[in-house]
Structure 1
């Protein structure tokens, strides 16, 4: 009797799981990675990924996001019925790539088991000259401090020797010096930033003139952020993908690294998206700004900003990006 009751319960549980499976979308990728083999730098790689729905409910694709500016993705349709499929056409521009490369496009869906799935293009990009690193990210630079980084230039084809002949900066605040590499073949490019460069993000580039007939000119992006006495951490607010439940909160910390006390005079937020509270962690030195998403936000992407105003003579206004993705149904925060 007890054994029969146990078997019956197992059948009920299995049937319940099967009904749950039929009542939800299920994304199933047969080819999450496409190997494009070996191509010369500058070639364009195109591939179309299939995104099938093998569940029992409509699969909704909110959006598709590329991992870098070198990839472009086009979605065929946003709603996929059970048994159907969407297609994501991905194009990869290899103009600034070299060596073994993997670039991923993320697909955001309403599949509860796979809200984000990746589609990747992978392969080898051959170039006459290889710059490492490329691009050159200088990170967060303290204004007034000396900043110098090096980029190594080497040949990308066995048996061929090409070199950089001269370098042209696009900004008077970015300086570059080319010299032989002291510890191996190739060259070393020393990049420096002026100590008095303006506060905020910068995005410059260096133009490299080479001896390569295939690539006579190369560009090296140089970017980063110059910070002063006041720093906000993290530098942006991301709430991620929201599925309902309690409204999420995020904390920003406003820190004073200068000698004089700092006061946060006011804060401006998108009132229809978030509320906020401001509290002093240490008066004059550090403040905590807590942001809370409002309930009942419309489905879609949220892209806004938070503005922080201080009494610092050179850093009176700080702008912090704010992002979120709200899904349909349920309580939103």
Structure 2
């Protein structure tokens, strides 16, 4: 005898290990229904069916607490969420109650079903929240538009027996690359294989790293038919040390997930350490030479350092040398780097860069090693400033704002500020106004105010201040900021 359909929209979900199955019939009369999954490991969600008489829409599955998701036989790393795919569509899994968020809605007409096997390895009781919408049969072709797209890594193609969608589906064999332990002097390369698991023509429009330590070469002109494969080659040059996880965004015409993520992981061992790591000189006397330095220590054996290079606007005024300094208390090689700032550095804020480099001997031959240093400070003479830079920080495009810097003589004698002129990207919208803060003119305030640039990005420039102080008749105050995107 054929079972009569339920007189309401419903979604039937079968869950359980392969040797145990239990079916939950979820009445979608209320918009949200919670289903408790028994404490079993693993759990398989392998069947979605609408036994009702009206169309039911399944928006998402929510899994409380952490989980490990397996789609087909392709493992994913532990995460605070995952994904569920059926009928060629992907639904997000979230890690907290009532956090389903926006996602594609899958409509199931009466007596339809979709098969997709998932192993949810978790030892604790899970709460699955199914968010559904009930509509009449005449609305079966209507879908709910997603307000955002998932950026979770792509997974394997639908299993055999699942209807192939008529649109492109980007699928990776494995979207996670784990290089394991490696030195910061090493370079690694990995090849990620992808294929079109859908029925439409797939095109990858862009492959972009989200960090500066990955470089990608990929031809975006080819298109890929159903089941055709391609490769993305990634070069990884680590920076820093410790456990690192970097992302590469893959953008395609897959309508379900236009942005997928390839993750690069590695445990980075540093070749060198330094103290201090940044050469912050603070206020140094104007027109007076100044010497500072740092000590480098080899964290790996067989390292030699023999070269120092400076760059930036400060480079013409720097002289740096590196010399061996013997062994430290742990028997590690050390080097002393001496940096001399000459007496021709202009008044005001200065910045520069320095790279100390050499080589490390490995089984594959000598490899280059280096360490980068930032150098900054402020040269001040008879005139001292409360700050050497107008710091606007983050601002909105076209917004108005102001920053101030106070000037005084170190001997507290009166002086005069004769004028102030703004240069740089924001010069058209900013005006610098000098004002004495006391009747004798011992302290002057420079007020930099006006409109911020109309386009986003970094803006910076200078304020030329003219005074009557001998030898410091023209001093430079810098300004900088970032217009939000």
- Hey, what's the Cα distance between the residues in 1 that align with 2:360 and 2:145? 64
**Structural mapping, 1:254-293, within 5 Å:** 259=407, 263=420, 265-266=422-423, 268=425, 278=430, 284-285=446-447, 287=449, 290-293=452-455
- Cα distance change on mapping 1:249 and 1:219 into 2, 3 Å: same
Q: Which residue of 2 aligns with 1:328?
A: none
- Hey, what's the Cα distance between the residues in 1 that align with 2:171 and 2:281? 44
Report the CA distance between 1:77 and its aligned residue. Answer: 1.5
Q: Which residue of 1 aligns with 2:464?
A: 311
Q: CA RMSD in A?
A: 5.6
**Structural mapping, 1:169-318, within 5 Å:** 169-171=308-310, 172-176=318-322, 178-180=324-326, 182-195=328-341, 201-208=351-358, 218-224=368-374, 226=376, 228=378, 229-234=388-393, 249=397, 259=407, 263=420, 265-266=422-423, 268=425, 278=430, 284-285=446-447, 287=449, 290-293=452-455, 306-312=459-465, 313-315=474-476
Secondary structure at the aligned position of 1:106 is classed as strand
* 1:10 aligned onto 2:43: no
Relative to the length of structure 2, the TM-score reads 0.42
| 1:92-140 deviation digits (Å, cap 9, x = unpaired) | 357xx797674735326378987765434445678xx921269x96277
Q: Which residue of 2 aligns with 1:299?
A: none
Report the CA distance between 1:249 and its aligned residue. Answer: 3.5
- Hey, what's the Cα distance between the residues in 2 that align with 1:103 and 1:17? 36
Structure with a larger share of its residues in helix: 1
- Hey, what's the Cα distance between the residues in 1 that align with 2:401 and 2:365? 46
Secondary structure at the aligned position of 2:271 is classed as strand
Q: Which residue of 2 aligns with 1:61?
A: 205
* 1:35 aligned onto 2:152: no
Secondary structure at the aligned position of 2:56 is classed as helix
- Cα distance change on mapping 1:61 and 1:317 into 2, 3 Å: farther
Larger Rg: 1 or 2? 2
Secondary structure at the aligned position of 2:374 is classed as strand
- Hey, what's the Cα distance between the residues in 2 that align with 1:53 and 1:250? 45
- Hey, what's the Cα distance between the residues in 2 that align with 1:54 and 1:321? 43
Which has the bigger relative contact order, CA under 8 A and spacing at least 6?
1
Report the CA distance between 1:209 and its aligned residue. Answer: 7.1
* 1:155 aligned onto 2:294: no
* 1:130 aligned onto 2:302: no
Q: How many residues align?
A: 286
- Is contact 2:303-2:358 (8 Å) kept? no
- Hey, what's the Cα distance between the residues in 2 that align with 1:257 and 1:147? 28
Report the CA distance between 1:284 and its aligned residue. Answer: 2.0
- Is contact 2:278-2:374 (8 Å) kept? yes
- Cα distance change on mapping 1:37 and 1:9 into 2, 3 Å: closer
- Hey, what's the Cα distance between the residues in 2 that align with 1:208 and 1:217? 9
- Cα distance change on mapping 1:319 and 1:82 into 2, 3 Å: farther
Gaps of at least 5 residues in structure 2 are 1-5, 10-28, 30-51, 59-104, 108-141, 150-164, 286-290, 311-317, 379-387, 409-416, 436-444, 466-473
Q: Which residue of 1 aligns with 2:68?
A: none
- Is contact 2:185-2:271 (8 Å) kept? no
- Hey, what's the Cα distance between the residues in 2 that align with 1:92 and 1:33? 13
- Cα distance change on mapping 1:19 and 1:115 into 2, 3 Å: closer
Secondary structure at the aligned position of 2:8 is classed as helix
Q: Which residue of 2 aligns with 1:273?
A: none
- Is contact 2:422-2:430 (8 Å) kept? no
